[in-house]
Chain A
Amino acid sequence: MSTQTHHDTDVDPVTVEIFSKALDNITGEMGLVMMRASGSPVIAEAVDFSTFMADADGDIISYSGYITMYLGTARQAVRHVLQTVPREDIHPGDMFICNDPFTTGNAHQVDVGVVRPLFYRDELVAWCWAEAHVSDFGGVAPGGFAPMATETYGEALRLPGVKIVDRGELVDDIWRIIETNIRVPNLVLSDIRCFIAACNRCDDRLRDLLDRYGIEDFRRYIAIAKDLAEQAVRHRIRALPNGVYEAEDFVEHNGHTNGLHRVHCRMTVDDEHMTFDFSRSAPQTDGFVNVSAPMTLGCAMTPVLASLLCDLPINQGTLRPIDVITKPGTVCDVQMPAPVSSGHMETGLRVCKVVTRLLAEVQSASDDPFVRDHVMAPWQDSWNGVIFYAPDENGQLAPFLDMHGGGSGAGAQAVADGMDVGGALAQPQNSVPDIEINELGFPVLYLWRKLNTNSGGPSKYRGGDGVDLAWTPWYTPGGQTHVFGACWQVPPSGTAGGYPGSTSGFHLVSGAGADKVLASGQIPGHLDELDGDLQALEGKQFGLVCSPGDVVHLHAGGGGAYGDPLDRDPKLVASDVAAGITSAAAAHAAYGVVIDNEGQLDEEATAARRQAIRDERLTWPLEGDVRVRRTQAAARLAEFDQWAQPMEQVQLVEQADPETGALLRVDVQVLQET
């Protein structure tokens, strides 16, 4: 039992828990202040923000948990202030502003945080932090994503934890520097005011709490809460088999060139301790895809907190038994002056994915059913952006960033299918917009929006499907389009014998004449039904001309899958075929399920087809004690009616049991880096 190793056995865990919930109420309330006080849809609706409290040493004592990816940043921001500001210069009512990936560990420069020391009776007792994605923070590109940057200097204004409020008074000089350097100062300054308001609320509430509990109990209880969490994490890690496990994934295309940048993780499970070592990742690159070490920490912890530790609170104790190691100068631990403005969506999400893959492997081998059940397959983890810069019918520029970016599929679970249109793992409360809301605000008309058939990996529990949509300019003379996705050539692996999901891609059909087709009374339902020049775009491509009648198409990829597809209930496959989630061809090729001409399941033919697939697996060459088939990934997936942008060195390695023909594992492997 965990209580036996407390420092302090006089305090019962119920009291500590009630107290911890009171702290969580405060960080939660900071979040509510942010949502209410901010005019920004990014905060109020996309919930792209975080709040937390640390103790006097900067150790996390409560994390509101909106976005776990920012865990490392939150802690680093406080630590950086502690390390750089002399103690005698930290006063009650001070606040420090932080947005510098290189010192305060932010994801990118438009993620701006405010850190406030909390004093009780003249003593520094805690810190709080409120952070969110703001609309702009200066630099070469509006909105802060700068694919053209080759170094960080031009990306945005950077503030490395400098005082923005001094003893309760706004520091006008800093305020004016910000105001002068950014594009939409009103909006951004009001967001910063709301971070300040959230920190003020925390100060008030913590003081009330300390009035009731006293400083001594505060210290005792937070120490015990950390210990309790730590012991539970240690206990949970013990449920994993010891060993060293390795996996890698690849950042694609750095905004300038289509290279692959390796994100490698060596995970060590050693009794009750885990290490995630990213040292062997690729060197940092001169495109905007790199991340800071604190972001790598937050991204590595995100799948850990979603699966292995999904029932435990987040505080410093949770992190103690887990080390995340990075090597300075790699894509996972960027050093000046490499650019970072899209790093969390590129290297960051690759870190999430590679850890998801490792956890799936080690959790599957656990004796603890809770741990085994909480296996998840890698998600597509690509936020697929489409931007359309065009004037509306009144000549007003209406920049359109389609929030269907959150439309890719989730990884399958050990007990259920992955979520369709789940977004990236690191985005709790992801949502995609209503068609009417997008058409109301922006000069586009959608031709279709449907599930991207077969995009989730086929398996016992299939990966979630992504979205498939197309639009044409509407009430506009046309403009420029940019597209960017993170998963175009290297599909997300499945787990436990499940297949990968499809990857994400874009098309532009110039001269499609969609407006004329509509005027003739028809609605195109597929790219084949359009005229014009069909152009498959690269994973990232900028500055495309898009005129009336042209069509922009996104097919977002799906999640990795769980388990041999031959183990999926044929009735479920049949109903997926009826729903358009799976095609009849994929049902036949991947699931071994035969659907007759009336759309009904043919059980006899299915049994025969499944046996034929098993028999075929038994003809694969023997490597060691398993049958192995190595193929070019895109070509093999195409047999299942799936899609990935072909790339020679991306391989699919299928391994089958030599006795039964059961699929044991399917890995995506990249033969060599470029």
Chain B
Amino acid sequence: MTQYHIGCDIGGTFTDIVVATSDGEVFTDKADTTPLNLADGLLQALDNVAEQIGVAVEELLGNCRRFVNGTTVVTNSIAELKGARVGLITTKGFGDNLLIARSARNAHRDHHKQLNLPQIVDRDDVVEVTERLDRKGRVVVPLTEDEARRAVRELADRGVEAVAVSLLWSFLNPVHEELVARIAAEEYPKLFLSVSSRLHPVIREYERTMTTVLNSFTGLRVAEYTERIERELAERGLRVPVAFMQGFGGTLSATEARDRPITLIDSGPAGGVIGARELATRLGIRDVVTADMGGTSFDVSVLQDAKTMVTQRVMLRDQFLTALSKIDVFPIGAGGGSIAWLDARGIPQVGPHSAGAEPGPICYGKGGTAPTVTDASAVLGLLDPKAFFGGRRRLDIAPAADALQREVGERLGLDARQAAAAVYRMVTSNMSNAVRAVTVERGHDPRTFSLFCFGGAIGIFAADIARSIGIRKVVIPSDAAVFSAHGLLATDDVRTQTRSTMWSGGDASHVAQSLRELEEEQVAALREAGYSDERIDIEWQGDFKFAGQQWELRVPIPRKPDLAEADLVALQESFPQRYEAEYGAGTAWVNSPVVLMSVRVVATGRAETFERAPARIGQPAEVAPRRRRPVYLPLAGEQQDVDVYDAADLVPGSTLTGPAMVEHPLTTIQVPSHWQFTVDEWSNFILTDTRDRAEQADEHRTLMEATR
């Protein structure tokens, strides 16, 4: 009997689904996302893919061994500031913590960008309690039961739907937070409750509080969503628990997701990066820049030595500093819908404003009036108005051309195509700079990296982005359009928890004990999720810093049951070398104690995956273009007749050289001259620069010279 693994990524516009079978086949499909009830879109996508495979949904789900879901429910809740009414219980004297926000200043020069943060907790709904601990975790002022009860009742009477408890120094001694939690659970068992010392027992009250508050803010929506998904799928025959993707990279069970919903933040982009890692490993590529271009943004991330990068202390919405960690994804406002405009100097700029899905680009004919990147691509002839989206959407070129000429061209003395070329070059430059930011500026040489591109809009730009930064190989996965869903199937189950230690020497038994306890908790959670011990990997980590620094460096701690002071001293002693390896020679602080701020256990349950069967590549087949079409090549600044290939004519092993366009129902790929395009044994599209470095340097000058 064929068994299935199902990955389903619910994005803003589409719900993507990928089914891998125990026979090594892969099926993909999609449905429109249904914002009012996300489960509906998921079920529709499931129907679509079942029909494609030729099985009943009940059979597909009944034989499903793993079901992984990525969702924007948390991301959207925070982006739209729509969530539960939260009441916050905090230490007397510090109720303004969220208003003070550690000063909300950012790096923008424009003072209009310096605004007070939106408040997700009404100041009325913050209740202070008389209690105080100090930096040793010592109780200075005890919290009485009456006081705790008063606070909980006050919030319940006001009608809050969820409560967050965050008291000073609770991470060292949770006694007061636990007292509040116990009373809340006893008296108001239906209130959603988040407790800072359970969620993130680490120093820095602002981000600990913010994380706890956001957890409560998103909690009800996630509870409703996960329960609904589980129920609907179970009704249709699913017999395994649904795993939910975390922004950190691994998955969680529904129960755990309901307990710490905030960890589901940005799980979509994480799915894409995890998918790229799986693909890179399969292709034997170690160093990768991933690039995802959607309607409003261009997101880049780096895999070095096939490892994902993690950002700590994540800032959400550019506003809320949290204690969360997630896969490092660097976004800029450059997507197909990004709007082109002239700045005060008369120079064309692109984004960050976007026409979004509604009204969208002008050429979609849905009422858009501002010229976008997609309009520029259409006017240049890079998109075929008749073949777009597999012919399902006709593009209306004339109004797009008019708008580009009017909004961008007129003041610069450019015709519509020249204006479109200017927009194309500017957005390509912005995207190259984003790739540069995550490579060159973090000490990586992009020339040794490959660019993995996904998202429907990127095929046109991929090779030009690569060559402007010296990358010679571009991989566009066969499932580029549903790539995040694909990544879900490659995701392991991950549990992680951190605990504050603040050790800088002397007896280390509390450190060892913390690690053992954390390990026990995380392993128990994985066993609960069905992982046997041989499929559980455990890592111990420590966050070290020089005393006086604000940021820590994550260092592996040897995992041994009898971890002792000497082991930690050895890590302290080697810390300056590690620090300099990260930040450069001569940067380590001299004569400064090294502090172990906190320890972390990461437990990974290795998920089962089905092997995919590669295609056999025979004799390179002759590929003929379907037609030729005039394209105004934006970097060369001239019009050429270019060969147009249909992806349906290509098979593994097919090869062609640019300049050419390759049209696929979900994406259009531009192959520049001197670049080779091949289809590999997994049906991925591979673009390779065929010239040596000197030729590239020459070309760069020519490109920059491009004028009207």
Contact = CB atoms under 8 A, between A and B. Distances in A.
Contacts of B592: 39
A310 B112 contact: yes
B411 A436 contact: no
A114 to B, nearest CB: 15
Contacts of B586: 37, 190, 193-194
B412 A450 contact: no
Interface in B458-500: none
A86 interface: no
A422 B587 CA distance: 31
A213 interface: yes
A374 B344 contact: no
B704 A450 contact: no
B551 interface: yes
B402 interface: no
Interface stretch (A121-129, A412-420, A626-634): A412-420
Contact of B345 (A232, A435, A449): A232
Nearest to A467: B100
B123 A21 contact: no
Nearest to A11: B707
Interface string A307-329: 10011100000000000000000
Interface in B84-99: 92-97, 99
Nearest to B583: A36
A428 B588 CA distance: 27
B104 A419 contact: yes
Interface stretch (B1-9, B187-195, B199-207): B199-207
Contacts of A235: 344
A231 B425 CA distance: 24
Interface string A570-611: 000000001111000000000000000000000000000000
Interface in A407-465: 407, 410, 413, 415-417, 419-423, 425, 427-437, 439-441, 445-451, 464
Contacts of B587: 36-39, 190, 194
A578 B124 contact: yes
A3 B169 contact: no
A571 B502 CA distance: 46
B551 A37 contact: no
A68 B107 CA distance: 11
A13 interface: yes
Interface in B598-655: none
Taking chain B's interface residues, is the majority helix, strand, or loop, or is none over half, making it mixed? loop
Please indicate which of the listed interface residues B103, B422, B440 has the most CB atoms of chain A within 10 Å of its own CB: B103
Given A65-B109, A449-B94, A436 B168 contact: yes
Nearest to A468: B96
Interface in B116-155: 116, 122-124, 130, 132, 134-135, 140-142
A673 interface: no
Interface string B400-443: 00000000000111000000001001100100010010001100
Interface string B186-226: 00000000000000000111110000000000000000000
Contact of B412 (A12, A441, A581): A12
Interface residues of B, number: 81
A211 B694 CA distance: 11
B214 to A, nearest CB: 17
A514 to B, nearest CB: 11
B103 A41 contact: no
A1 interface: yes
Interface string A5-41: 0000011111111110100010011001100111101
Interface stretch (B271-279, B526-534, B542-550): B542-550
A464 B116 contact: yes
B700 interface: yes
Given A15-B704, A15-B707, A17-B426, A437 B203 contact: yes
B94 A435 contact: yes
A176 interface: no
Interface string B280-316: 0000000000000000000000000000000000000
A440 B171 CA distance: 13
A306 B348 contact: no
Contact of A39 (B169, B344, B589): B589
Contact of B102 (A66, A190, A310, A432): A432
Given A18-B426, A525-B93, A580-B96, A428 B346 contact: no
A662 to B, nearest CB: 25
Contacts of A387: none
B168 A417 contact: no
B705 interface: yes
B574 interface: no
Nearest to A379: B111
Nearest to A442: B135
A519 to B, nearest CB: 8
B663 to A, nearest CB: 28
B110 interface: yes
Interface in B55-100: 92-97, 99-100
6 pairs of A and B residues whose beta carbons are closest in the complex: A448-B93, A579-B123, A310-B110, A186-B590, A430-B105, A232-B345
15 contacts: A1-B412, A11-B707, A14-B426, A36-B584, A37-B586, A190-B587, A194-B586, A212-B697, A306-B109, A420-B104, A427-B105, A445-B140, A450-B96, A450-B100, A579-B122
Given A422-B114, A434-B206, A522-B141, 9 more contacts: A12-B707, A13-B345, A66-B107, A190-B586, A213-B704, A416-B115, A422-B104, A451-B100, A581-B123
Interface of A: 1-3, 10-19, 21, 25, 28-29, 32-33, 36-39, 41, 44-45, 47, 65-66, 68, 186-187, 190, 193-194, 197, 211-214, 217, 228-229, 231-232, 235-236, 305-307, 310-312, 373-374, 376, 406-407, 410, 413, 415-417, 419-423, 425, 427-437, 439-441, 445-451, 464, 467, 474-475, 518-519, 521-523, 525, 578-581
